[in-house]
C-alpha cells in the first residue's frame, strides 16, 4: 500500500536509515542494475522516509517504506521514533498483511490493534486477538506507545493459497481502512480494477484444480455461515460513508 500511495502522491525521499547496522546483506541482498555490461545503479536494502508532493488530504503525511531489519530492532525502532518525534507526528499507522483461511471471493478482512484501546475503538476493523511472536511492526507500535505517540496497526488477511504478492484486493482493503481511520479519501487510481482482475485470475486458477475449487467453496461456506446480518449492514453503511466522503473531498 505504501508503494501505491507513494506513486499516487508522487512522494519524494526526505531521509533514510543507514542499513549497515541493521541488515545482514547475505540474507537481504542489495539490488544492482546492469545495462549493456555497465552497472547503472546499486540499491541497498533500507527504510526510507518520503513526503508526498501531491497530497490531497487535509493533513501532512510522512510515508515510511522499508524492509524488516535482520538485527538491532530496538535501535532501529528508536531511530524511527526519533524521526516521528522530530516530525511531531500525531499518529503512526502501521500496515501489514497476514496469511489466513480467507476465501479470495469475499471482502478481505482487516484486523486492528492500537497502542491505546480508545484509538482503535472507533474503527470498523475487527480488533485483533493474538499472543505470540511479533515482527518489526509489533515492536514499533509498542515503542511508539512508550514514546507517547498514538499508534495503530492494520492487518489485511490474505488467502494463504494465493500468498504471492502483490495482492491488489488486500491493498484496497487497507486503503479503505485507513480512509475510515483518517476520515479522508485516499487515491485509488486503478486499484479497484486491479483487485477485480486479481480475483478473476485466482478464479481461473481455482477452476483448473478441483481440489482448490472445493477448498475455496468450503471457505466460502464457513465465512458465510459466521457472517452476521448486522455485519453486512455495517459494511453497506461503511461503503456509503466512503462514497459521501469522496463526494465531499472531490468537491473542494
Domain boundaries, the chain: 74-250
Cα separation, 50 vs 64, whole angstroms: 6
Cα separation, 141 vs 149, whole angstroms: 9
**pLDDT tens digit string along 16-58?**
999 999 999 999 999 999 888 888 889 999 999 999 988 777 7
Cα separation, 188 vs 58, whole angstroms: 17
Is 70 exceeded by the pLDDT of residue 187? yes
Q: How large is the angle between the packed helices 168-182 and 229-250, nearest 10 degrees? A: 70
What's the mean per-residue pLDDT of the chain? 86
Distances (CA, A) of 217 to 104, 108, 222, 224: 10, 16, 9, 10
CATH number of 74-250: 3.40.50.10900
The pLDDT of residue 230 is 47
The pLDDT of residue 242 is 61
The pLDDT of residue 142 is 93
Calculate mean pLDDT across residues 93-118.
88
Confidence of residue 131 (pLDDT cuts 50, 70, 90): confident
What is the pTM for the complete model shown? 0.81
Amino acid at each position: 500500500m505504501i508503494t501505491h500511495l507513494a506513486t499516487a502522491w508522487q512522494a519524494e525521499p526526505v531521509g533514510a536509515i543507514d542499513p549497515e547496522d541493521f541488515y545482514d546483506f547475505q540474507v537481504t541482498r542489495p539490488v544492482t542494475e546492469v545495462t549493456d555490461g555497465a552497472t547503472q545503479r546499486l540499491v541497498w536494502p533500507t527504510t526510507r522516509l518520503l513526503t508526498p508532493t501531491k497530497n490531497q488530504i487535509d493533513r501532512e503525511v510522512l510515508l515510511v517504506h522499508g524492509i524488516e531489519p535482520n538485527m538491532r530492532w530496538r535501535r532501529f525502532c528508536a531511530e524511527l521514533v526519533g524521526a516521528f518525534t522530530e516530525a511531531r507526528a500525531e499518529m503512526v499507522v502501521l500496515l501489514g498483511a497476514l496469511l489466513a483461511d480467507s476465501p479470495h471471493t469475499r471482502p478481505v478482512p482487516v484486523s486492528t490493534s492500537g497502542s491505546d484501546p480508545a484509538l482503535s475503538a472507533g474503527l470498523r476493523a475487527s480488533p485483533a486477538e493474538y499472543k505470540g511472536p511479533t515482527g518489526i511492526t509489533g515492536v514499533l507500535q509498542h515503542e511508539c506507545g512508550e514514546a507517547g505517540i498514538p499508534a495503530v496497526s492494520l492487518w489485511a488477511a490474505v488467502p494463504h493459497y494465493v500468498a504471492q504478492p502483490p495482492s491488489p484486493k488486500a491493498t484496497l482493503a487497507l486503503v479503505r481502512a485507513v480512509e475510515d481511520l483518517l476520515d479522508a479519501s485516499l487515491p485509488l487510481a486503478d486499484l479497484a480494477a486491479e483487485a477485480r482482475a486479481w480475483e478473476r485470475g485466482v478464479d481461473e486458477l481455482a477452476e483448473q484444480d478441483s481440489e482448490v475449487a472445493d477448498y475455496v467453496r468450503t471457505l466460502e461456506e464457513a465465512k458465510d455461515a459466521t457472517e452476521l446480518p448486522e455485519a453486512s449492514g455495517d459494511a453497506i453503511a461503511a461503503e456509503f460513508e466512503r462514497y459521501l466522503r469522496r463526494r465531499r473531498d472531490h468537491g473542494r
